[in-house]
């Protein structure tokens, strides 16, 4: 790891969704000369989203990938150094902080903003991947509106699934909710609300065989895992709500996290338990998970990093 020619960066941003790019915009304007590594999926989860209608400033809506190109171009125009590459390990035991890129080179940084995001857990069906963005979605709040007045299916049994089913019930004619066991994991209050909602139909002890449709979702095939009875339900969309997994594994030996891997930040800030390391976006937010909240927390992280570097005489 020792390298006398090692690059030392003032502000290193890991990840390139709305949080990372916003952090880069703010850090550039503050003359922190940020370097951003885009990671395995430049643009983050929005690059696998089609229409985005709920981000302010786009009255006609915008395609997710196009929106991320706008974010990237704005960060570049401000002077951010944006690079291809993925952080594969970190060593936060020394100053400056050390981050490994692509399992080969180590770079040093006076401050690090973690904005590596989260990935929706999927069922692993080939049809789910093929129809992702064509009726298959992992975010009812993002995409439910496109299926107003239609029948939809949702799979999941936790609070998120219950919340999303209730959200969809206000837009859609029928919400077919597929639950693997004979009970939900969701809190009692949420379960009661779901069961009281007339247009949510719950399928207990049920699993998804396949999502049907050539170019878009047309139906879902499910199986009762007690009776082996099969059903085909005509639907226009299939929402997966079985949880998200934060992209935080490489930080687990250093950074405080909750039991599911979301990074803990000091309330009201983006600060982690390690001085000079900040976290923004979905890697630390399991509640809202929206592009606009991720961007807001990216702004917070850049401002926190600027203040931190100022107190150290590094800015």
- List the chain domain ranges: 8-119+244-311, 122-240
Q: How far is it, in rounded angstroms, from Cα 280 to Cα 115?
A: 5
213: helix, strand or coil: coil
Tell me the sheet residues that pair with 278: 113, 271
Structure tokens at 306: 């600027």
Give the HSE-up count for residue 284: Cα atoms under 13 Å, Cβ half-sphere.
33
Sign of CA dihedral 23, 25, 26, 28: positive
Predicted confidence at residue 1, as pLDDT, reads: 44
149 torsion bin: left (phi>0), alpha (psi -120 to 50), beta (else): left
Architecture of the domain delimited by 8-119+244-311: 3-Layer(bba) Sandwich (3.50)
Give the residue numbers annotated as catalytic, written as ranges: 139, 142-143
Cα–Cα distance, 171 to 105 (Å, whole number): 50
Q: What CATH number has the domain spanning 122-240? A: 3.50.50.60
Compute CA distances 313 → 109, 307, 310, whole Å. Answer: 14, 10, 5
- Residue of 239, 56, 292, 281 whose CA lies nearest to 133: 239
d(CA 191, CA 181) in angstroms, rounded, equals 14
Predicted confidence (pLDDT) per residue in 8-60, tens digit: 999 999 999 999 999 999 999 999 999 999 987 787 878 766 678 889 999 99
pLDDT at 289: 86
Cα gap 152→196, rounded to integer Å: 18
Contact criterion met (CB below 8 Å) for 20 and 281: yes
Q: In this structure, what token pair is assigned to residue 213?
A: 């449709």
Decide if 244 contacts 158 (C-beta within 8 A).
no
User: What average pLDDT does range 124-128 have in this prediction?
Assistant: 94
User: What pLDDT sits at residue 5?
Assistant: 60
Q: Which residues pair with 233 in a beta bridge?
A: 220
Q: Is the separation of the CB atoms in 240 and 156 below 8 Å?
A: yes
- pLDDT for res 216: 96
**pLDDT for residue 6 is more than 90:** no
Can you tell me the mean pLDDT for 146-156?
97
∠ CA(89), CA(90), CA(93), 5° rounding?
150
Tally of CA atoms within 13 A in the half-sphere of 41 that contains its CB? 16
Q: What totals of helices (H) and strands (E) does the chain contain, helices first? A: 7, 19
- Would you state the pLDDT for residue 226? 93
- The pLDDT of residue 120 is 85
């Amino acid at each position: 790891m020792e390298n006398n020619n090692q690059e030392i960066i003032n502000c290193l941003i890991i990840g390139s969704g709305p949080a990372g790019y916003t952090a880069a915009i703010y850090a550039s304007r503050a003359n922190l000369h940020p370097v951003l590594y885009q990671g395995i999926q430049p643009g983050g989860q929005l690059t696998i989203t089609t229409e985005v209608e709920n981000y302010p400033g786009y009255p006609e809506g915008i395609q997710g990938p196009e929106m991320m190109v706008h974010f990237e171009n704005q960060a570049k125009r401000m002077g951010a150094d944006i690079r291809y590459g993925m952080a594969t390990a970190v060593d936060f035991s020394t100053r400056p902080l050390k981050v490994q890129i692509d399992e080969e080179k180590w770079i040093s940084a006076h401050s690090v903003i973690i904005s590596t995001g989260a990935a929706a857990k999927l069922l692993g069906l080939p049809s789910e991947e093929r129809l992702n963005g064509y009726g298959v979605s992992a975010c009812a709040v993002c995409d439910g509106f496109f299926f107003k007045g239609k029948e939809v299916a949702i799979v999941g049994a936790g609070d998120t699934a219950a919340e999303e089913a209730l959200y969809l019930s206000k837009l859609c004619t029928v919400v077919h909710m597929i639950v693997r066991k004979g009970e939900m994991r969701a809190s009692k209050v949420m379960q009661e609300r779901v069961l009281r909602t007339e247009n949510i139909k719950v399928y207990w002890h049920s699993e998804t065989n396949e999502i049907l449709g050539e170019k878009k979702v047309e139906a879902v095939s499910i199986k009762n895992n007690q009776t082996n009875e099969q059903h085909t339900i005509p639907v226009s969309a299939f929402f997966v709500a079985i949880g998200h997994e934060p992209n935080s594994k490489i930080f687990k030996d250093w950074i405080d996290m909750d039991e599911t891997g979301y990074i803990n930040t000091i309330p009201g800030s983006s600060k982690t338990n390690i001085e000079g390391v900040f976290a923004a976006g979905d890697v630390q937010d399991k509640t809202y998970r929206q592009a606009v909240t991720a961007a807001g927390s990216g702004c917070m992280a850049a401002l926190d990093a600027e203040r931190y570097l100022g107190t150290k005489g590094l800015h």
